[in-house]
Chains A and B, each alone.
Chain A
């Protein structure tokens, strides 16, 4: 257990439905990252926050995806009008935010299946 938690751990939904995932980082960590991992592949970067500011978004993050970190603590990732191609593991990670490159601590992930 790295100290990063994600909820839910598993989500099954029907195509077209909206889903929201939550990530609680390690409490003193200022940076929070979202990644997506499809079966048999390495993770892909989606977005990251420094405190409450969303500083970078991947081109993978279509307009159906939105992420927030309203108070600089927990973060949510929402997917609207889900598609079967959204089926993946969604990983959250956090880091202290003191250095340019740091060890990232990963949560257990939320596995999404879109039927």
Chain B
């Protein structure tokens, strides 16, 4: 079992829909990242959080440390949001490295 699990693995939705991607982890962590990867490989950091909630534009990330769970929400989704979204954690025992989930492939149809 992977230390970081994401669901769903694939998600297809219509433009305008509210999107939720979930991340669960089994290790103690000091911080969690949400990343976006477009075709061709480039990875962009969206959020780093260790508690509560962060918002940037149409993106919202939440984390519940006690339940070892985080969610990434996209409001008013748009075809340009189509990408792979990856959850990654800093485990306590290896604070610098990131441990990644397998990613969620999101496709937003016009």
Q: Is the CB of A48 within 8 A of B41?
A: no
Q: Is the CB of B90 within 8 A of A108?
A: no
Contact A31/B96 with A101-B30, A101-B31, A109-B42 known, Cβ cut-off 8 Å: yes
Digitize A86-112: 1 where CB-to-B-CB distance is under 8 Å, 0 elsewhere.
000101010000001111111011010
B100, closest chain A residue (CB):
A42
Using a Cβ–Cβ cut-off of 8 Å, how many residues does chain B contribute to the interface with A?
A: 26
Give the contact-size bracket for chain A. 20 to 34
Provide the bound-state CA to CA distance between A55 and B96, in Å: 9
Please name all residues of chain A whose beta carbon is closer than 8 Å to the beta carbon of B33 when the two chains form the complex: 103-104
Provide the bound-state CA to CA distance between A44 and B101, in Å: 9
Contact A105/B45 with A41-B102, A42-B88 known, Cβ cut-off 8 Å: yes
Q: Is the CB of B48 within 8 A of A42?
A: no
Please name all residues of chain A whose beta carbon is closer than 8 Å to the beta carbon of B43 when the two chains form the complex: 43, 91, 93, 106
Question: B76 contacts the other chain (Cβ, under 8 Å)?
Answer: no
Please name all residues of chain B whose beta carbon is closer than 8 Å to the beta carbon of A31 when the two chains form the complex: 96
Contact A106/B42 with A42-B88, A48-B96, A101-B90 known, Cβ cut-off 8 Å: yes
Q: Is the CB of A106 within 8 A of B44?
A: yes
Please name all residues of chain A whose beta carbon is closer than 8 Å to the beta carbon of B30 when the two chains form the complex: 100-101
Please name all residues of chain A whose beta carbon is closer than 8 Å to the beta carbon of B102 when the two chains form the complex: 40-42
Question: B110 contacts the other chain (Cβ, under 8 Å)?
Answer: no
Question: A45 contacts the other chain (Cβ, under 8 Å)?
Answer: yes
B101, closest chain A residue (CB):
A42
Question: B94 contacts the other chain (Cβ, under 8 Å)?
Answer: yes
Question: A33 contacts the other chain (Cβ, under 8 Å)?
Answer: yes
A42-B101, A45-B94, A111-B41 known, 14 other contacts, Cβ within 8 Å: A2-B44, A33-B98, A42-B102, A43-B88, A100-B95, A100-B96, A101-B95, A102-B48, A103-B33, A103-B45, A106-B42, A106-B43, A106-B44, A108-B40
Which residues on A are within 8 Å of B, measured CB to CB? 2, 31, 33, 35, 37, 40-45, 48, 50, 55-56, 58, 89, 91, 93, 100-106, 108-109, 111
* 13 residue pairs from A and B, CB less than 8 Å apart: A2-B44, A41-B102, A42-B4, A42-B86, A42-B103, A45-B99, A55-B96, A89-B41, A101-B50, A106-B35, A106-B44, A108-B41, A109-B41
